[in-house]
């Protein structure tokens, strides 16, 4: 038994990052130590989160959250925000103003659009997961996410490759599989160095794929 306990302790220490908490109550005991917070069974963002000044990851997967509050932009050290499987219909622009945010995961909501009404001067967002939502097109506001490297838009309702995909200078990976894409508008210029576009399980024909490969000879197209 002692040997098994040692293995369990080893696995726990290697799988759970230091500073990980699973409840607001326990996190509030040592707020300065909280770096990773994982919460379940909630309907709104607990305002107590603002007490955790060193928080870098907030995981709110599989809750019933309908709205991202404006005060979220005060989480200035937050690098990862996960809101998979909630009840969001839209994305508040405030989330894009988080100065340290690198990863935003919104998989499995009911989002069809988002807006960014003010210039973003310090965005660091590199990864945006919009899979399993209700997008029929990619909002123009995504252009303002100037450091975005990877975007996931699979399992939505897109009918064409969003033109913004060709305009985002740092974008490298675009996952568009399981949509209804049959066409794209040939860009006048391509401003990035795309490495991968995944169009698996879309009704786009071979002639369109061939044209896309001519435009992007160094890009791996599925």
Calculate mean pLDDT across residues 37-61.
Answer: 97
Token pair for residue 170?
């740092």
**Percent of the chain clearing pLDDT 90 (strictly above):** 78
Calculate mean pLDDT across residues 69-87.
Answer: 96
Q: Residue 9's pLDDT is what?
A: 54
Q: Residue 14's pLDDT is what?
A: 56
Using a CB cutoff of 8 Å and minimum separation of 24, what contacts does 96-100 make? 96/120, 96/123, 96/125, 96/144, 96/145, 97/73, 97/123, 98/72, 98/73, 99/124, 100/56, 100/76, 100/124
Please identify which residue in the block is written with the tokens 């040692």: 6
* pLDDT band at residue 89 using 50, 70 and 90 as cut-offs: very high
217 Cβ partners below 8 Å, 6+ apart? none
């Amino acid at each position: 038994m002692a040997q098994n306990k040692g293995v369990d302790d080893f696995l726990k220490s290697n799988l759970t990052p230091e500073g990980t908490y699973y409840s607001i109550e326990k996190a509030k005991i040592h707020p300065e130590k909280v770096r990773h917070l994982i919460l379940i069974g909630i309907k709104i963002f607990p305002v107590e989160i603002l007490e955790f000044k060193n928080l870098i990851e907030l995981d709110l997967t599989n809750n019933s959250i309908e709205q991202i509050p404006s005060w979220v932009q005060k989480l200035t050290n937050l690098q990862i925000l996960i809101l998979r499987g909630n009840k969001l219909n839209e994305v508040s622009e405030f989330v894009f103003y988080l100065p340290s945010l690198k990863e935003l995961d919104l998989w499995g909501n009911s989002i069809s659009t988002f807006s960014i009404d003010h210039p973003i001067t310090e965005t660091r967002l590199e990864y945006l997961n919009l899979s399993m939502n209700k997008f029929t097109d990619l909002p123009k506001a995504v252009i303002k996410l100037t450091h975005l490297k990877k975007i996931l838009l699979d399992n939505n309702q897109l009918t064409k490759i969003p033109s913004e995909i060709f305009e985002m200078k740092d974008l490298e990976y675009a996952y568009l599989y399981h949509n209804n894409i049959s066409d794209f508008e040939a860009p006048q210029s391509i401003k990035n160095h795309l490495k991968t576009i995944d169009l698996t399980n879309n009704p786009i024909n071979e002639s369109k794929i061939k044209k896309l490969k001519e435009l992007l000879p160094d890009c791996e197209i599925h």
